[in-house]
Amino acid sequence: MKGLTPLFLGIFGTFAFSWIGLTVIPTWQIGHLNPESDEEGTDIYPRPQSGMFERGEHVYAANGCVYCHSQQVRADYIADDIERKWGNRRSAPRDYIFDRPVFLGNMRMGQDLANIGARAPAQEESPSPAGAASPAAQGAAVSSPPPSQATSPASSPAAAPVASPGTSPASAASPNASAPPGQRTGVASPSPGQMANATPGGSSPAAPSAQTPGAPWPIQTAGLPPMYSAAWHHVHLYAPRSINPDSNMPSYRFLYEKRRIGGQRSAEALQLSSSDAPPEGWEVVPTYDAKCVVAYLMGLNQSHPLKEVRSVGGAPPTGTAPAPAAPGASPAPATGGSPAAPK
Amino acid sequence: MNTTEIPLKDPAVSAAAGDTEQLERAYIDASTRVPVLMFYTSAIAWLIVGTVLAMLVSFKLHSPDLLGDISFLTWGRLRPAHMNVMVYGWASMAGMGTAVWLMARLCRTTLRFPLLLVAGGAFWNLGVLIGVGAILLGDSTGFQWLEFPRYVAVILFVAYTLMASWAVLMFRHRRGQQIYITQWYLLGAFLWFPWLYAAGQLMLFVVPVQGVLQSAVTWWYANNLLFLWFGAIALGTAYYMIPKVIGRPVYSYHLATIGFWTYALFSSWTGMTRLVDGPFPAWMITASIAATILTMIPVATVGLNHHLTMQGYFPLLRYSPTLRFTVFGAMSYTIFSVIGVLISLRSVASYVDFTEVSVAYSHLGLYAFFTMTIFGSMYYIVPRLVGREWRYGSLIKLHFWASAYGIGLMTLMLLAGGFLQGANLENPTLPFSESIETVLPYLRGRSVAGILMTVANFIFAYHFGLMLLGLGRTSTVPTFLNPVEAETSGGH
């Protein structure tokens, strides 16, 4: 065992080999991806996200969501992620170019979240607790989602791009929680909103028996906001077991504030079921961090097609239709009034 | 190692015997006392902290409302806190302690520049303390294995530079031409770690890479930390302790050389196996899977070498605590690597991706392989530093069985639960919640295993505390696990 120089060279060489091989060369290959756009250069994906989204990303990191939730959809010939409605195509490197940090994750103690924003119900309550929409309108949207409204943005896809050139900075900067759902409207996958109506909710929040095989989990239960809506996420974060009694997700009550109702009940207050509900005269409202993390969740959406991967499933609505263009802007008029870029 | 190095007697006795070589070793051991004991003491303190965190993490996973409403006790913060305490607090400090002691012995020179080490160790502790506090208070970076915020990384890097420069200085002052195989591994570890840590920090924080490459860098870092830092220290330690205790040279230097270079070459390429089927160019994944399969070469050569060295001496496992823990660690290395190969294969990976199997794998590497080997070295080294023998053979025995059964049960639970979880995940006719309900009983079983490991770690900490306070036995005979029959003249 002699010969010091070969030893040092070898130690250095093996390390450099692996460093170059697994980090430097991949950086050359996929380290400088740009967003894709269509011929006119309008339909740009992915887009940089809003400030609330970014702060939500930090809340997500700080509370270790990544240790239970992955954010990557595997190809349909490898795994059944797509069959589970976790996405309509496999994830590609381009989906993540603005993510920092990236939360691919390697554990699914909970569901994959790569498209959780895309799974939100179609009706627009998006700027709801996360934004600064008028409380009245928002309250209405939360409490009784009018199903008719759900389909309206999609029914006039052609109008959307005209209405707003997708390049408007406002749409890029708006907390886009609203963006994805609009674009997903009418997607082949059963919209959770529809499911809510179809499922016999049962009177108690505990209704696992009602689950049909293959149905997305958890199931919509009566008395709760529509599944995967912003209001639903707040209830789920605050009291996961009020939605699925068997869930082992921690409760994030420290992201919420329990306070005495002063005057009028806040429009942001959570709709909690009996056991988790605050006492009479009190309400539970999200802190800013909670609003941000929900804005983040609502913004997670890889449903936009990419040239390099094949979208699967019935009919990605986006195939040739221009619907996804200007996703941020199209629902905005529907909710009435400009989004006013809540910040 | 030359054959004249017979198993050591107590340093004090050897000094009286006038044996110059043993006298020299006693001097060297004495010179390492302060820094090595400092590393060991902090490591064991971190081990206890990490164990408590581990219990919380394990119980909260199946009882989520336990201590649920407190922000710094939420599961998603406790888990990275536990992991970072174990990785940077316990494993790095303990490994460093053993590496320092081995380095001094193998360079055959008394420890110089102890201040570098003491300062480095103090800074390191400070860094880990601030880092864990930051994670619990919600300042995690979100990169797995690199959750410490940037300002902590700076402290750790300064600390590490002090310690690594010590290693290089020591190596320059070594006596004798021979460089033993253990020194290869230790030099490798001392040089790989700073490159690795710097590369990870640079590519994630200073000049961040784009998108999914952050994940590639993270897992490249994590796997290399496991193999090139912890693995290298543990293998180097095993190459020293096994021959030392049984008093017989390593079976084949040639095999050892092959084992070292193939280990360095292949294990450093395995990082992407944690992301099979992820959004990456296929060649990256395939290269990692191929490298993982090729790690069977170092596994076979190292395992064969240890086995042939031990051949005929296996009965000594009955007596020597060091040998028993070290051999357990060495065997776990083989199991760890074989399971690593199995779960990286694409057909298997699509089932075990995203399940508890990856947790089983990490614990096999960090506990069954690394920690057990380091426990073994501590049983050898500590008596030589404090001048006393371990007080209770029965406690060592209890420590061994509790930790061995604990990690064994934990691995079984997580592997079995993880495979079932994965099978249900891959069955789209079952609702997602089914996969969680399937794994929950196994997670409860894991908590039982965790109790065993907690008992083991606390026993060891207590025993170490006694040694530190000078309450060990004053004796010329090492503490054995079982009474030694007359004809056995085993080592320590």
Q: How far apart are CA B278 and CA B340, in angstroms?
A: 18
3-state secondary structure of B473: strand
Chain A residue with CA closest to B66: the answer is: A250
- Residues 89-128 on B with a CB inside 8 Å of A are none
d(CA A96, CA A302): 9
Q: Are A182 and A330 in contact (CB under 8 A)?
A: yes
Smallest CA–CA distance, residue B89 to chain A, in Å, is 20
Distance from CA of A118 to the nearest CA of B (A): 18
Contacts of B284 in chain A (CB under 8 A): 22, 26
Same domain, B200 and B143: no
B9 part of a folded domain: no
What is the C-alpha radius of gyration for chain A, rounded to an integer number of angstroms?
22
The verdict on a CB contact (< 8 Å) between B432 and A15 is no
* Contact with chain A for residue B215, Cβ under 8 A: yes
Tokens (6 digits) for A31:
């380290």
Tell me the C-alpha distance between B168 and B113, whole Å. Answer: 11
Q: For residue A54, what are the contacts with CB-CB under 8 A and spacing of at least 6? A: none
Tell whether B323 is covered by a domain.
no
Mean pLDDT within A5-12? 90
Give me the residues of B, 29-68, that contact A with CB < 8 A: 60-62, 64-65, 68
The secondary structure element, H or E, covering residue B323 is helix B321-344
CB atoms A23 and B355 under 8 Å: no
- Nearest Cβ partner of A65 from B76, B196, B281? B76
Same domain, B463 and B400: yes
| Positive or negative: CA dihedral B318, B320, B326, B330 | negative
Same-domain check for residues B150 and B266: no
Q: Domain residues for B398? A: 334-486+488-492
Query: Which pLDDT score, from 0 to 100, does residue B462 have?
Result: 97
Nearest to B202 by CA among B188, B190, B213: B213
Same domain as B244, residue B132: no
Cβ–Cβ < 8 Å for B241, B323: yes
Cβ neighbours of A240 in B, within 8 Å: 64
Residue A189 has pLDDT above 60, yes or no: no
- Cβ-defined contact of A208 to B433 (cutoff 8 Å): yes
Q: Which of B250, B279, B312 is the last residue of a domain?
A: B312
Phi, psi of A45 (to 5 degrees): -145, 140
Whether residues B338 and B480 fall in one domain = yes
> Among partner residues A30, A64, A108, which is closest to B281 by beta-carbon distance?
A30
B273 in the same domain as B303: yes
CB contact (8 A) between residue A29 and residue B288: no
Q: Is residue B321 part of a domain?
A: no
Structure tokens at B82: 């536990």
Q: Which position has the token pair 């694409």?
A: B346
How far apart are alpha carbons A137 and A332 in whole angstroms? 13
Q: What angle do CA B468, B469, B470 make, to 5 degrees?
A: 90
Tokens representing A123 are 């009706």
Is B347 an interface residue toward A (CB < 8 Å)? no
Predicted confidence band of residue A144 (pLDDT cuts 50, 70, 90): very low
Inform me whether the C-beta atom of residue B228 falls under 8 Å from chain A C-beta atoms: yes
pLDDT along chain B (492 residues), means of 10: 39 52 87 94 97 95 86 93 96 95 90 90 96 95 92 93 86 82 92 92 92 94 95 96 92 93 95 90 94 96 94 90 95 96 92 92 96 96 93 94 97 95 90 90 96 97 95 86 61 49
First to last CA, chain A: 65
More confident residue, B350 or A223: B350
Please tell me the distance from the alpha carbon of residue B478 to that of residue B194, in angstroms, as a whole number. 37
Q: How confident is residue A122, by pLDDT bands cut at 50, 70 and 90?
A: confident
Structure token pair of residue A211: 């689950």
Percent of chain A with pLDDT strictly greater than 90: 31
The answer to whether the CB of A102 falls within 8 A of the CB of B211 is yes
Residues B203 and B160 in one domain: no
Q: Do B179 and A4 touch (CB under 8 A)?
A: yes
Amino acid at B483: P
Residues of B in contact with A99 (CB under 8 A): 211, 214
Among B265, B280, B312, the domain-final residue is B312
Which among A33, A70, A98 has the least Cβ separation from residue B354?
Answer: A70
Nearest residue in chain A measured CA to CA from B229: A15
Give the SS3 label for residue B338.
helix
**B167 in a structural domain:** yes
Q: Does B360 touch chain A (CB under 8 A)?
A: no
Distance between A134 CA and the closest CA of chain B, angstroms:
31
Cβ A105 vs Cβ A69: under 8 Å:
yes
In A, which residues are within 8 Å of B353 by CB distance?
74, 79, 106
Give B79's contacts in chain A (Cβ within 8 Å). Answer: 64, 67
Residue-level pLDDT at B420: 94
The whole-angstrom separation of Cα B403 and Cα A330 is: 61
Residues of chain A in contact with residue B271, where contact means CB-CB under 8 angstroms, are 22
Nearest residue in A to B71, CA atom: A254
Largest distance between two CA atoms of chain A: 83
Chain-wide mean pLDDT for chain A? 70
SS (H, E, C) chain A: CCCHHHHHHHHHHHHHHHHHHHHHHHHHHHCCCCCECCCCCCCCECCCCCHHHHHHHHHHHHCCHHHCCCCCCCCCCCCCCCCCCCCCECCCHHHHCCCCCCCCCCCCCCCCCCCCCCCCCCCCCCCCCCCCCCHHHHHHHHHCCCHHHHHHHHHCCCHHHHHCCCCCHHHHHCCCCCHHHHHHCCCCCCCHHHHHHHCCCCCCCCCHHHCCCCCCCCCCCCCCCCCCCHHHHHHHHHCHHHCCCCCCCCCCHHHEEEEECCCCCCCCCCCCCHHHCCCCCEEEEECHHHHHHHHHHHHCCCCCCCCCCCECCCCCCCCCCCCCCCCCCCHHHHHCCCCCCCC
- The phi, psi pair for A87, rounded to 5°, reads 175, 165
CA distance B250 to chain A (A): 13
Rounded distance between C-alpha atoms, residue B98 and residue B371, angstroms: 12
Whether the predicted pLDDT of A343 surpasses 70: no
**Are the beta carbons of A96 and B211 separated by less than 8 Å?**
yes
Q: What is the CA radius of gyration of chain B?
A: 22
What is the pLDDT at residue A2? 54
**What does the pLDDT read at residue A220?**
63
Determine, for residues A248 and B210 on separate chains, whether the beta-carbon distance falls below 8 Å: no
Q: Which residues pair with A286 in a beta bridge?
A: A256
Which residues in B lie closer than 8 A to residue A91 (C-beta atoms)? 278-279
Residue B47 in domain: yes
Name the minimum distance, in Å, from the CA of B474 to any CA of chain A: 38
Of B148, B178, B208, the position where a domain reaches its end is B178
Q: Which residue has the higher pLDDT, A12 or A264?
A: A12
Query: Is residue B319 included in any domain, yes or no?
Result: no
Do B139 and A62 count as a contact with CB atoms less than 8 A apart? yes
Q: Residues of A with CB below 8 A from B204's CB?
A: 101
pLDDT score for B254: 92
B220 vs A18: CB contact, 8 Å cut-off? yes
Q: What is the mean pLDDT of residues A128-143?
A: 38
Residues B382 and B481 both lie in one domain: yes
pLDDT above 60 (res A29): yes
Residue to test with chain B: of A104, A219, A241, most B Cβ within 10 A: A104
Is the per-residue pLDDT at A94 higher than 80? yes
What the block records as the tokens of B67 is 């201590």
Residues B404-436: tens digit of each pLDDT: 999 999 999 999 999 999 999 988 888 888 899
**Distance, CA of B216 to CA of B199 (rounded, Å):** 12
Give the mutation candidate from A2, A14, A251, A254 for the B interface (greatest B CB count, under 10 A): A14
Count of domains forming chain B: 3
Same domain, B173 and B230: no
* CB-closest option in B64, B274, B281 to A29: B281
- Chain A residue with the nearest C-alpha to that of B172: A4
User: Is residue A281 very low, low, confident or very high in pLDDT (cuts 50, 70, 90)?
Assistant: confident
CA distance B72 to chain A (A): 9
Q: State the smallest CA–CA distance between residue B249 and chain A in angstroms.
A: 14
A62/B253 CB distance under 8 A:
no
Question: Are residues B472 and B339 part of one domain?
Answer: yes
Q: Where are the beta strands (DSSP E) in B126-170?
A: none
Q: Is B5 part of any domain? A: no
């390697």: which residue's tokens? A106
- Do B202 and B145 share a structural domain? no
3-state SS, B35-47, equals: HHHHHHHHHHHHH
**A264 C-beta neighbours (distance < 10 Å), count:** 7
B7 domain-assigned: no
Say if residue B120 is in the same domain as residue B231.
no
